[in-house]
Structure 1
Amino acid sequence: MEKRELVEGKVDWKGRTAVRGKQGGTRTALFVLATFAFENVATLALSVNLTTYFNGVMHFELADAANELTNYLGTSYILSILAAVLADSYIGRYKAVLIGGFLELVALALFAIQAHYPSLKPPPCDVFEPTSHCEKIGGGSAVLLFVALYFLAVGSAGVKAALPSHGADQYDEKDPKEAKQMSSFFNFLLLAVCGGGAVSLTLIVWIQDHKGWDWGFGVSSIAVLFAFIIFTVGLPMYRIQVIQGTTAITEIIQVYVAAIRNRKLELPEDPTELYEIDHDKEAAIEEDFLPHRDIFRFLDKAAIQSTSIGKYGKLEAPNPWKLCRVTQVENAKVILGVLPIFCCTIIMTLCLAQLQTFSVQQGLTMDTSVTKSFHIPPASLPIIPVMFIIFTVPVYDRIFVPFARKITGIPTGITHLQRIGVGLILSFISMAVAGFLEVKRKGVARDHDMLDAIPVTQPLPMSTFWLSFQYFIFGIADLFTYVGLLEFFYSEAPAGLKSVSSCFLWSSMALGYFFSTILVKIVNASTKNSKSGGWLAGNNINRNHLNLFYWLLSLVSLFNFFIYLFAAKRYKYRPTNPVLTNEKAKV
């Protein structure tokens, strides 16, 4: 077997060096895409419909129900960082996916059990009737609810942290053909998410609303089981990234510690005098060497060399907490450089959180009929952008990217930062449109004297499809920003931080969900003297001022976009990035 057929740094499931054509490639990545699709069949419906479950079944107030959902989502995304560190440095990415899938299966089974037995949930009541007394869930039943919820959060964190990176591991970035295929993989990863999401937002939501929540959670459990089986079947064909042994995060921390300890030393005028190990002695990891860049110079002090003689007159081995190699310093610079981009994407998820919570509640007040006999559940409204993305991703990947590639010379058509920027400006537009549509919805309620109407029995004479405008625009934003972020962070991250790099996206989303909870509380506290007792207070959305809240988010999003432009203009791509040949970001 010729050496060129082996893939360095990758092994098969038995620990043997991976063989090109036998392990990895697009064929193997299909198992990852199918796994992600079935996982989203099980979980995406919960991201938009759990507010209804908490409000209508567990009897949380509307704002509290929305906050419980965003807290769960935020926790799941933030835990993905810990899951990624474990995946990269200790257990491996494919094992992290298997553990995460098992926890999701247990959690959904617990949800199904609780939803099935009346003794495990509060007695039914009409949460929209002011005179009705609703008993909120408590005691052991509440414990069961939150155990299931956060088991699901932990399991989902493991899958989100490791599965995208494990899929990208099936390609060799140093091979030009596979590098292009890896770019397509990230686009089709979104397609898999949307394909699973389309089933989740229609079939699973319909089952939850018409057959009962116990059936809904049960079918979701089956979907996770299918995902688990599909992923396991592909095990003999996977290229598995060799576990680094030491955490790359530790190496990043060492750079900062060494830079602080060496802060009083003078930087040499010639960067070649900074410490680096001999390339020849480390030929096996030659791809890990990065050239020095004249940015964040304060970190260069971590690589200032000083001769250290030991007790027996021999040179001592360098202390990694006082002397770091140039490549290690450059990796730290890469992580520091992406932080401003990371921070600028948080607001977009804050906007997304409203479409998963308050927009669903808007739909509950409106006419959901498609025909005389068929009604679309409001939680299924995100199917509109999802279907658009399903049809758009192949067009984007197979038509737009090759066309743009001929003009720009960039393998991905446009730069990652350009793609992210398009999504951010569209999120601003989406929130502005949402505000205007809420004004129209409340105007219809006022004109028909239905401001105090009970949505379940007295829907407004206004189609819920009006909300599709805000979902449609945000769906396009998803296509650009979230996939652009995932590919950007993966391509820029050091080799030992590939799973952690994908968690930059999930962490950005986590902070967005947490900030949503905080912002809702701040807005209600600041507007408690209004007639409704707060812009978002109570259960009657017709009496609230959701339009003002949407416009506030729109202004915040616009301000955030201008900050992003400033950060993106200053960003310099990693020199070894195969996507870009120039350091300067094009925005």
Structure 2
Amino acid sequence: MAEEMNIENGEFEDWRGSKADPAKHGGVTASSIACVVEVLENMVFLSNATNFVEYFLKSMHYSAAESANMVTNFMGTSFLLTIFGGFVSDSFLTRFKTFIIFCTLELLGLILLTIQAQDSRLLPAINSKPSKTQEAILYTGLYAIAAGVGGVKAALPAHGADQLDHSNQRLVSSFFNWFFFSLCLGGLIASTVMIWIQENLGWNWGFKISVVTLSVALCIFSMGFPIYRYKRPGGSPLIRIFKVLASAIANRKASLPEAENTQIYGEKRNHDKFRFLNKALMGESVASTEVEETKTFIGLLPIFASTIMMNCCLAQLMTFSVQQGNIMNRSLNSFKIPTQSLSVFPLSIMLTSIPIYEYFVRMFRSKNNHHPGILNMFQPLRRIGLGLALASGSMAAAAVVEAKRREAANDDVVLSVFWLGWQYLLLGVSDMLTLGGMLEFFYSEAPDTMRSMSTALSWCSTAMGYFISSVLVTISNSVSGHFGKEWLGGSDLNHTRLDLFYMLLCILNFINLLNYIFWARRY
């Protein structure tokens, strides 16, 4: 009976439902499986995101604009659905089961698209648009993949971190760094090996290899079930949050001292933040732990919102930076760098920066154990802040390089694509610090019952950054058009003012950095 109570109170259990034994369950080996699986899963996700453009154009006969929008919507939806996947994982299923179900859903979507790609009866005739049935098959497969990706990316990092001793924060921090390393390694394979296969063997091989790779990832993850440790879902956290907010509003006229004396708080009570929510305690069905859970989650939201602008900069690497690369000198001796492989630059930089970062952290910790001020520089909030500062610097560098490229183009000189390395370098390190810091921060600070959903905020920030980037382009063109010529009008970058748009992003990111500092200092 005591064992059951311990499990109910937040202890981990094994696959049989008994209390987990630290000597047998969890640990570095169990968490490492999540990193291996992430390499394979992200390779599949990004290689298909690249493959879809050509597939929509050449096989489904959509226009270039329609194809681009379909891919953008697919990626944005995948990242946004991580919130749904996190909600399911926290509320109803263990993170292990959530991964299995959503990865299977992603696999079924891939199989459906693979069947359609191989069967001419399910493809439109030459120079014809797809029929309603063919479109239905396409969108069913496409958004089954998107939903699967949402659940996988929400559950996998939280599941991996669950395997570690949470009293060792350095170990948890190291896991998220190496998880991000795995994410980048999968992207690098997608940008090199998969691009080569698609260009030399045909795009349809991308689907076949993706099905096999994701099947292998699912098997590897499933094989670890005897050594994993699991945490039972704690019911819907959103319902508890809404209940607290509704009770606080209903009792808004009550005095705070009266509300705070109605129940005895636990040790983790925070007296200073969002004290008005303490009025919810006047409601008979609201517990102090639910109030603290609500306070903690709401406290994460300003940090989340402050990272979106940085992801607007990352969106440029997928759009304008690629267009810049297309009209620059991409020759490396006798080899011409494929446009789709330009993302190799930031991914290589991220992969290199993570081991270097880990080395310096270990070195500082071994030499400065008695100097907490130095060790504090590696805390997630400080890493995120440094990442946001580098994002602003990257856009300043991008503006200078673009101005130089336009000036050279006017003199009939084509600059090397390696000039773009400055913005790739700064943004690569920025993304490593920011996204890695976000994953660790949201997991570590979130209530135990909301860790999957809170971790999903990191991916949602990416999605919203892409969407807001499109809005900023539209607004910039609209405003600049009223004063003469649109900055980003037309398709020829030599006659646009991309450098001014980059400078705008630099300024907006600097303002956002000040906003982030305001909230981070008050967290």
Q: So what's the TM-score if we normalise by structure 1?
A: 0.79
Q: Given the alignment, which residue of 85, 89, 92 partners 2:91?
A: 89
For 1:412 and 1:47, the matched residues in 2 are separated by: 38
From 390, 394, 416, the counterpart of 2:355: 394
Q: 1:80 to 1:240 in 2, by over 3 A?
A: same
- Change over 3 Å in CA distance of 1:292–1:303 after alignment to 2: farther
1:433 to partner: Cα distance:
2.1
Aligned to 1:358: 320
* Structure with greater proportional helix content: 2
CA distance in 2, matches of 1:114, 1:371: 40
Give me the whole-angstrom Cα distance separating, in 2, the residues matched to 1:184 and 1:170.
Answer: 13
Quote the residue 1:249 is aligned against: 238
Secondary structure class of the residue paired with 2:415:
strand
1:72 corresponds, among 67, 71, 74, to: 74
Equivalence map 1:171-210=2 (5 Å)? 171-173=164-166, 175-176=167-168, 179-210=169-200
Contact 2:380–2:440, Cα closer than 8 Å, also in 1 = yes
Matched, 1:489 2:451: no
Which residue number corresponds to residue 228 of structure 2? 238
1:547: which partner in 2?
499
The aligned residue for residue 383 of structure 1 is 344
Q: Which residue of 1 aligns with 2:460?
A: 507
Residue 414 in structure 1 maps to residue 382 in structure 2? no
* Residue 264 (structure 2) aligns with: 276
2:412 matches 1:462: no
Cα distance, 1:217–1:367 mapped onto 2, change above 3 Å:
farther
Letter in 2 for 1:70: T
AA paired with 1:296?
A: F
In structure 1, what is the Cα distance between the partners aligned to 2:64 and 2:488?
8
Residue identity matched to 1:276: I
The count of corresponding residues between Structure 1 and Structure 2 is 514
| Residue 478 (structure 1) aligns with | 431
Give the Cα–Cα distance (whole angstroms) in 2 for the partners of residues 469 and 121 of structure 1: 43
CA separation of 1:41 and 1:72: change in aligned 2, threshold 3 A: same
Which deviates further from its counterpart, 151-160 or 101-110? 101-110
Report the Cα offset of residue 57 of structure 1: 6.9
Check whether the contact 1:249–1:497 (CA below 8 A) recurs between aligned residues: no
Aligned to 1:152: 145
Q: Is the 8 A contact 2:51 2:203 kept in 1?
A: no
Between the aligned partners of 1:113 and 1:211, the Cα distance in structure 2 is: 18
Query: 1:526: Cα distance to partner?
Result: 4.5
Question: Retained in 2: the 8 A contact 1:292–1:327?
Answer: no
3-state DSSP of counterpart to 2:11 = strand
Compared CA separation, residues 276 and 64, structure 1 to 2 (3 A): farther
The secondary structure found in structure 2 opposite 1:565 is helix
Q: Residues of 2 paired with 1:549 and 1:115: CA distance?
A: 39
Q: Conserved in 2, the CA contact under 8 Å of 1:116 and 1:213?
A: no
Within-5 A mapping of 1:39-118: 39-47=41-49, 65-115=67-117
Q: Is the 8 A contact 1:107 1:149 kept in 2?
A: yes
Question: 1:17 is matched with which residue?
Answer: 19
**Equivalent residue number for residue 518 of structure 1:** 471
Distance in 1 (CA, whole Å) between partners of 2:60 and 2:488 is 19
Whole-Å Cα distance in 2 between the matches of residues 436 and 231 of structure 1? 46
1:558 aligns to 2:520 (yes or no): no
Question: 3-state DSSP class of the match of 1:421?
Answer: helix
How many Å separate the matches in 1 of 2:55 and 2:321?
Answer: 15
Equivalent residue in structure 2 for 1:340, among 298, 302, 308: 302
Letter in 1 for 2:399: G
Structure 2 match to 1:267: 256
Find out whether 1:325 has 2:287 as its counterpart: yes
CA contact (8 A) 2:388 2:509 kept: yes
Q: Which residue of 1 aligns with 2:277?
A: 299
* Contact kept? 1:49, 1:379, Cα under 8 Å: no
Q: Which structure would you say has the larger Rg?
A: 1
Structure 2 letter corresponding to 1:266: S
Provide the rounded CA distance (Å) in 2 between the counterparts of 1:51 and 1:477. Answer: 28
Distance in structure 2 (CA, Å) of the matches to 1:169 and 1:410? 28
Name stretches of at least 5 consecutive residues in structure 1 with no aligned partner: 125-133, 280-288, 305-317, 449-459, 572-587
**What is the aligned counterpart of 2:403 among 426, 439, 457?**
439
- Deviation, 1:408, is 2.2
Root-mean-square deviation (CA, aligned residues, Å) is: 3.1
* CA apart distance, 1:341: 1.0
Is 1:223 the counterpart of 2:197? The answer is no
* Cα deviations by residue, 1:275-323 (Å, 9 ceiling, x for unpaired): 138x7xxxxxxxxx5224222221111124xxxxxxxxxxxxx732xxx
What TM-score comes out, normalization by structure 2 length?
Answer: 0.88
Q: Equivalents in 1 of 2:58, 2:503: separation in Å?
A: 28
**Higher mean C-alpha displacement, 393-402 vs 72-81:** 393-402
Change (3 A) 1:190 1:462: same
C-alpha offsets along residues 6-26 of structure 1, whole Å, 9 cap, x if unaligned?
986111222222111211000
- Give how far 1:394 is off: 2.3
- Encode CA deviations 1:157-200: one digit per residue, 9 max, x unaligned: 01111001001110232x44xx4322211111111112222211
**Conserved 8 A contact 1:48-1:356:** no
More deviation, 231-240/95-104 = 95-104
**Partners of 1:527 and 1:535 within 8 A in 2:** yes
Q: What's the CA shift for 1:87?
A: 1.0
Question: Contact (CA 8 Å) 1:276, 1:326: kept in 2 or not?
Answer: yes
More deviation in 404-413 or 492-501? 404-413
Partner SS for 1:17? coil
1:433 is paired with a residue of what secondary structure?
A: helix
Distance 2:59 2:291 in 1: 53
The corresponding residue for 1:311 is none
Q: CA–CA distance in 2 between the matches of 1:398 and 1:421? A: 20
Contact kept? 1:435, 1:546, Cα under 8 Å: yes
2:159 alignment counterpart: 166
Q: Secondary structure at the match of 2:331?
A: coil
Aligned residues of 2:259 and 2:278 also touching (Cα < 8 A): no
Once the two structures are superposed, residues 55-114 of structure 1 have per-residue CA deviations (whole angstroms, 9 ceiling, x without a partner) of 677676666655433322221121111111111111221111112222222333344455
Q: Secondary structure at the match of 2:336?
A: coil
Instruction: State, as a whole percentage, how many aligned pairs show the same letter.
Output: 39
Q: Distance in 2 between matches of 1:368 and 1:208?
A: 20
